[in-house]
Amino acid sequence: MNVRAAWNGKHRRVILAFAATFLLCAWYVDLKPAGLLPPDATHWERTGRFFAAALHPAFDYEDPNTPVDAIPIWVKAFHGLFLTLKFAFGAMSLAVPAALVMGFLGSSAWWPTPCPRPLKAVLGAVYFVSRFVMSLVRSIHELIWALLILSAMGVSPLAGMIALALPFSGTLGKVFSELIDEEARAAGLALKAIGHRPLQTFLVGIFPAALPNLITYSFYRFECALRSSAVLGFVGIETIGLYIQLSHEEAYYREVWTYLYPLLGMIILVDFWGAGIRRRLNQVEGGCTG
C-alpha cells in the first residue's frame, strides 16, 4: 500500500482523529516544549552533574558515613542485578503458564465445527470470561498491583513476583490467543478430515505451529519483566531499582550510574539471547516448511 492510498478514505479519518486527540490532550494538560527543560539554573546544574557522572561511575561509596566493612559497591550492584533477574524469572514462571491457560480459553481455534448451539453458548461464555480476566489484570500497571499486594501481603519476594505476574499474564494471554487464532489451519483441517477430535486437532495441528511465535513473544516480555522488576525497587522491594532510588535521593549520581550500567548490560545480553533463539526458531520453522 503506497502513501497516497493510505491517506485516502478511512485511513485519513483515523490519522486525523488521532492527531486531533493528541492536540486536544496537549492543550488540556498545557503541554509545551519548554516544560521539558529545567526551570532554573539550579536544576540545570543538577542535570549537568547527573549526566557528567555517567563518565565517572563510582568505584566506591560516595557517602562518607559508609561503614568500613560494607561490601564493595560493585558487589552490591551485581547482587541487586541478581535479585532483579530472580524477580523477573519468578514472575515469568508464574505468568507464562497462566497465560497459556487464558490464551487457550480465550481462543476459538479449538472449538468444534460445526458447533451445536448449546455448546457454542457455553464456549462463548468461557471465551468472554477469559478475555475479561485478561483485560482486567493487564489494565492495572504493575506498580499499582505492587502497592495493592504489598499492602495485603507485606514486603516479600512472593508479593513482588505476583505483582509482576498478574499484568504480564494478561498481556501474554491476550497475545497468545491472537497468535493461536491467526495461525494457518491447513494442518488442523487435514487432521480433522481423517477423524481427529477438535482438541486433538488443536494440540497436534495448530498449537505446535504457533509455538515459535509464542516463545519469541515470551522472550520479549521477559525483557520487559527485567525492567519492571527493577522498577519494583521504587516501592521498597529489594532490587537494583531500590539502590538507584536511594542513591538518587542523596544526589550520589556516580553511584546511580554504577547501578545503571550493569542493568543496561544485562538487558542488552538478554536482548541478544532472545534474538539468537528467534533466529534458531525461524530456521527450524523454515526447514520444516521447506
- Quick one: pLDDT at residue 58? 92
| Residue 24 within any structural domain of the chain | no
Establish whether the linkage from the previous residue to 208 is cis, with ω within 30° of 0: no
- Quick one: pLDDT at residue 69? 87
- Quick one: pLDDT at residue 143? 87
- Quick one: pLDDT at residue 35? 67
| Residue 28 within any structural domain of the chain | no
Q: What is the CA radius of gyration of the chain?
A: 25
Q: Where are the alpha helices (DSSP H) in 29-72?
A: 41-52
Contact 135, 68 (CB under 8 A): no
| Residue 55 within any structural domain of the chain | no
Cβ-Cβ contacts under 8 Å for 238 (sequence gap 6 or more) = 80, 83
Instruction: Count CA atoms closer than 13 A to 129's CA, side-chain side.
Output: 8
DSSP string, 206-261: IHHHHHHHHHHHHHHHHHHHHHHHHHGGGGT--SHHHHHHHHHHTT-HHHHHHHHH
- Quick one: pLDDT at residue 8? 61
Establish whether the linkage from the previous residue to 72 is cis, with ω within 30° of 0: no
Mean pLDDT by 10 residues, the chain (290 residues): 56 83 84 69 81 92 88 93 92 94 88 80 92 93 88 82 93 92 67 65 78 88 90 87 92 94 92 82 61
- Quick one: pLDDT at residue 201? 74
- Quick one: pLDDT at residue 25? 86
pTM confidence score: 0.80
Measured in whole angstroms, the distance separating CA 185 from the mean position of its chain's CA atoms is 29
| Residue 2 within any structural domain of the chain | no
Q: How many CB atoms lie within 10 A of CB 62?
A: 17
DSSP summary character for residue 197: -
| Residue 31 within any structural domain of the chain | no
C-alpha 176/C-alpha 174 separation (Å) is 5
- Quick one: pLDDT at residue 33? 73
Q: What range defines the domain where residue 268 resides?
A: 73-289
- Quick one: pLDDT at residue 281? 74
Question: Measured between alpha carbons, how far is residue 105 from residues 111, 115, 124, 179 in Å?
Answer: 10, 16, 10, 13
Phi and psi at residue 23, in whole multiples of 5°?
A: -65, -40
| Residue 208 within any structural domain of the chain | yes
Q: For residue 80, what is the domain's CATH number?
A: 1.10.3720.10
- Quick one: pLDDT at residue 245? 93
| Residue 37 within any structural domain of the chain | no
How many structural domains compose the chain?
1
- Quick one: pLDDT at residue 190? 63
C-alpha 244/C-alpha 235 separation (Å) is 12
**Coil, helix or strand for 116?**
coil
